[in-house]
Structure 1
């Protein structure tokens, strides 16, 4: 592997380019009409225009990406997260074009991208899954399945992910009404109308485990993250390790993630996601077959460069460390700073960043794809930056996060900074006593 095409934009494109350069690899950036002056375009060795501003005509256009790789002599493609990162068809197109895909095999993406198939793989690996059903095709099947599972339930798109394609249902009447709408939504969003049911666990925490697997069959984890502070199942704050997790539960949940990765013949970086009940039981919910937005907090507590490991693995090299060589060192928290208006139900607020002053100091890292004067485009995700703060303990990491927010200055567009400042002062956040519905209960008037 010599030259990597980065099939993404924004902060993750910057992150990949830096890791590739540190590994001695050349990089190719891609950009749409809206991103001609993007920071990642300037950092890469070469940059190629791939289409119009709409994602469907640029970053989701696999043919344009293959042609960009061919025209620049790239021999590998790193998809980042989002866009084509979990699309098996795109991974196959890259492979068919002779390009190394920095990620798992096509068959693995297919299996773990189908939530019903992923649940079955977890069962085979001896990993507990949330009680639920197989695919339900009509109302009668759904009602019968819900009676077995017990209300409340979640209607979930089999091809969904990232919190999308989920509808909570509290009764048979709601289910009969919601099923056709859920199927239509799944068809429109994922080109697959298959849905299934899961038991809705009250007061659950969202715990996810970062794993790495290489071509020699070695699978390791870099411990877990708690991503329970969510708005409409979209993460706002993540921290590592999960606060207050008993040592036995930590060992069991990390071991379960490794077992599942081995079961499906995983390759590369991935995240196995679980729900943890108030009683301490955990259940598998899905696997993301890519690098995650929140990977920096795992890096902060372990010292492992996850993107560099991805590149090593894709080149056929072994993981650079063994499981007994990695441990938890302190704590870290990540805050997603988005161009959204909290006073207007978090509506996206595209526009020009007239000022962007980033915080610094010990234990403070900021990942961003923007500088002052750049425009936050209406065509893509609204994230401006990720503020990652770490320390020798959780209290220090949170204190540094509060100080970082005090230093951060973003002008030109409304942002979520004020929400993060409020949340870090909430007693439940300070105590680590949050769950996936906590934020909705705290701020129902704005969400």
Structure 2
């Protein structure tokens, strides 16, 4: 089990995400004394203005933007780093408002665990369904259903079981394999770090116990080699490096070793890895060290045995597991723009280190996440803000692409407005059967 766990929160507005995160950090003793003192001061000032006796506003530990504090909502993704005796965590506190669903997609894209909060008084809402769909779409390994504010329904087990059943049924439809429901009160602290005597009927783990034992995403090093080239190094000097030619980038998946037989896509040329270099940086100098191999996540320079055509956007892959190239894609999109997507739209696609022109040739449909919806793909002629839909794209340049289900790096992409550079959509490439959700 990896000692580092990436987690993200999601849920509807006012479900208590920031309060839960603040409580978790506070009870794990991951907050500095001066920050606690500041929150106590602000809380006291607000309590006086409201005339209540609130002692500590845990949400203030994460809502850092002035607009967030003034409106009482989370707007941007707030990242926090903390650790316990058992492991370290990177936490992304995502917005709940539907307007900021795009931020939730960003926060959940690399998460090992997504904590989806549901207000015990309100049950499953449309935004809950949307966030569950995003978690399923992004293949997040674990989902925690935090049934929050359980104290406000008198710690009623039947309320908890009803919400857990509703979410379990939705998770089955979305292909989410692991859902752990936990009754919590972020404000009081029930079952966040310490077990609550008020929920004696609940026998599962506390939130922290689950997080400390959860596994991360599958090891990218175990997948086939994918090495997108970012830059070609060819020194223009008359010294010992004048014949040097190297290709820099980050190993997206797999392992690359000296002597490996590889294919350079999209050209399809076969060659062998002649050397692997990595910069060694110290306080006084930078040197280059040769390496026998490199694994996923490492930034290196690869030298090849043959002088072939390689440029930014090329992908070096294992000779025995090449994905080939595609000029047409069937994909699932999270549409993030206020401007609707229509058939015939001309956009830019950003896939690994390649940027190319693309055209939308078909919109198959959009996921129904309404309160009475069945989570089916319904026919649609366009995608609106925050829609999750299926489309077909034609690409001007061949892409070395995998299905997202087998490789989340080479199986994902962004759609960009060619005129203003705004990101319009996050996309996941469907498998051969056209299935992702």
The two structures share one fold, judged by TM-score above 0.5: no
Q: TM-score, normalised by structure 1?
A: 0.28
- Greater C-alpha Rg: 2
TM-score, reference length from structure 2: 0.28
Say which structure, 1 or 2, has more relative contact order (CA 8 Å, 6+ apart).
1
Structure that is richer in helix per residue:
1
Q: Per residue, is there more strand in 1 or in 2?
A: 2
